[in-house]
Amino acid sequence: MISQPDVGHEPHNPVRDDSKLAVDEDLDRDPDGVPHSVVGMTALFSVMLAMLLAFMFIVGGTTSRIAAVVIALIAIPVLVGSLNAKAKRDRDRVHPSR
């Protein structure tokens, strides 16, 4: 029969008990200081933009290839700038990163 090993004490995880937190622990803080929604949107929009540009470049003719390059030159700075603004707006000022 398989049983849990005896660790000698009952573990007390500081899930929501602030009295059990160490001085430098903060459970509400994003570890890297960047809002996680911005990280997810960056990944999603980057993949979608790459797929669109690849499709335009592979399937289309010369005009589509030129359009794909123009879209890349315009869309990438706009994407980076808008997500940077959202990160600054949504950044947690109460629980800053270390």
- Decide if 68 is inside a domain: yes
Q: Is residue 20 within 8 Å of residue 53, measured between CB atoms? A: no
Q: How many domains does the chain have?
A: 1
Q: Is residue 34 within 8 Å of residue 83, measured between CB atoms? A: no
pLDDT digits (tens, 9 = 90+) for 44-88: 999 999 999 999 989 989 999 999 999 999 999 998 898 888 888
CA 55 to chain centroid: 25
Please give the residue range of the domain that contains residue 78.
33-90
Res 51: pLDDT: 95
Say if residue 36's pLDDT is above 70: yes
- Decide if 62 is inside a domain: yes
The Cα angle at residue 92 between residues 31 and 17, in degrees rounded to 5:
65
Say if residue 29's pLDDT is above 70: no
Say if residue 9's pLDDT is above 70: no
Res 95: pLDDT: 59
